[in-house]
Amino acid sequence: MAISSSNSNGGAPSLEVAIVGGGIIGVMMALGLHRRGIKAVIYERAPSWHEVSAGFAFTGAGRECMQRLHPGILEVLSRISQKTDASTSNSYWDAYHPRTRQDAEDESKALFRTPNNRLDFWGCVRSQLLLGMAALLPDGAVRFGKQLVSYDDDDESSKVILHFEDGSTAEAHALLGCDGIHSTTRKVLLGADHPASRPGYTHIAAYRTMIPIDVGIAALGQKVAKSGCMHCGPNACLMSYPVMNGTLLNVAVFAHDPSEFPDPDKMTAPAERGEIERLFRGWGPQLADIAKIYPENLVKWGIFDMDQNPPPTYARGRACIVGDAAHASTPFLGVGACTGVEDALVLCTVLESVQQQTPNGDTVDGSLRQALQAYSRARLERGRWVHHSSRQVGQMYQWRYGPTGRDTERIKRKLERDSHTIVNYDVLAPLLSDRSEVDHLMM
């Protein structure tokens, strides 16, 4: 199966790109490329659009990248998100020591607050965003039921050949692996025996749920209604924030788990409400009773990331890895998806340069390889910082991070430093500093 199309500047064939993975970042990537006249086809292993109905959020800086990728992405997010503003703040609470609900809900006893005018999160439900963006794709932009098993990037061939589990093949000038934390693209790119071919367990398990906002207020107090809250304590924490225009509360309990996760490939395991009850026994009354909002039988998620063995590169030849495939992180910094959006913008920028340099879609081989290496160099440091800092923040919320311990001021200062690094970052600046590659691509 070959990809073929005409670009937006005339009748000449377009640069052809195969995107492996039809998740949030894969679809954003496709939309950004199509907007630039580059033909992109998504190869998704599921039989239809599929995304877990969990909440996540995007910073103001992340939304600026969305706008530059494709304005329609931001329009979709705006319709479905719960928006914070300068009048709101994320709050951090000691959930272990209060002995009464009154103390636990006393606004004056919050550990500290961080103004939302820094990160300016918009929270939404993953599945709603995916479906909204998918509706913007042109006809023929996705092939379902396509599980990648390998690819060939032969120097003598003008295109990369993708091989799928059903025996079919496809070809394209470049392969972008947006296939998540268990990326097949990454395993082929690095080699199956490479330490970075598999993610590592962070020894944190998550119990997630989404509840009506009034149920959340009854359980955790009025403080959860408008913005994010983090309830901290020894070896566990609870994160909550409103989604779906404030009608639902996304809740996640995170527990330190010294053992190995039972199914590292699936990353989920059956669980019972009693696990949460035992986890918060002896805590303040809000979290001691929080298990009641969960069903008797549930699923727990193993939290994996790439911090233990980060990839040495995000690109080799005419293939690269994007988003979680490159730098999967824990959710504690809150910018894993935003980092994938940054990847997509950088990739769209370098691939558009290749498209403009070779408008007839041929003799692109050398330019593509250099463009993908420029992408990798531009993103490696940022990706590694995100998953490393996010792991530290998760330990900090569970009072297990040595440099901060339980010291409120130290915790606050680290969060402020990290927020500054998240917000005050020029996504395209690393490309501009790599002048030799940029100059070549622009020739």
pLDDT at 153 over 50: yes
Give the three-class secondary structure for 203: strand
Q: Is 26 exposed, middle or buried (0-12, 13-18, 19+ CB in 10 A)?
A: buried
Q: CA separation (Å) from 49 to 61, 131, 169, 388?
A: 27, 7, 21, 31
| pLDDT (average), residues 346-367 | 82
Q: Which residue has the higher pLDDT, 132 or 437?
A: 132
Q: Let me know if 208 is a catalytic residue.
A: yes
- In the chain the first and final C-alpha atoms are separated, in Å, by 32
Q: Residue 16 is encoded by which pair of tokens?
A: 């052809």
The candidate with the shortest Cα–Cα distance to 108, out of 223, 219, 218, is: 223
pTM over 0.85? The answer is yes
Pair 205, 195: CB distance under 8 Å:
no
Look at residue 441 in the predicted model and tell me its pLDDT: 54
Look at residue 117 in the predicted model and tell me its pLDDT: 61
The candidate with the shortest Cα–Cα distance to 330, out of 275, 263, 257, is: 257
Q: How far apart are CA 209 and CA 125, in angstroms?
A: 12
Handedness of CA 50, 322, 117, 238 (dihedral sign): positive
pLDDT at 116 over 90: no
Look at residue 11 in the predicted model and tell me its pLDDT: 45
Q: CA separation (Å) from 414 to 119, 410, 420?
A: 15, 6, 10
CA angle 241, 244, 249 (to 5 degrees): 35
Comparing 156-165, 310-319, 410-419, 434-443, the range with the smallest average pLDDT is 434-443
Per-residue pLDDT tens over the stretch 357-390:
875 545 688 899 999 999 999 999 999 999 999 9
Residues 6+ apart with CB under 8 A from 329: 305, 306, 307, 336, 339, 386, 387, 390, 391
Comparing 79-93, 135-149, 153-167, 276-290, the range with the smallest average pLDDT is 79-93
Give the three-class secondary structure for 36: coil
Q: Which member of 35, 63, 198, 208 is catalytic?
A: 208
| Percent of the chain with pLDDT strictly greater than 90 | 77
Q: How far apart are CA 136 and CA 73, in angstroms?
A: 8
Comparing 106-120, 191-205, 397-411, the range with the smallest average pLDDT is 106-120
Q: What is the mean pLDDT of the chain?
A: 91
| pLDDT (average), residues 30-38 | 97
Per-residue pLDDT tens over the stretch 399-430:
999 999 999 999 999 999 999 999 999 999 99
pLDDT at 101 over 70: yes
The H or E element that residue 202 is part of is strand 200-212
Comparing 162-176, 219-233, 291-305, 427-441, the range with the smallest average pLDDT is 427-441
pLDDT at 4 over 50: no
| Percent of the chain with pLDDT strictly greater than 70 | 92
Q: How far apart are CA 443 and CA 421, in angstroms?
A: 33
Residue in this structure with the two tokens 């030849």, named with its chain if needed: 317
Pair 15, 38: CB distance under 8 Å:
yes
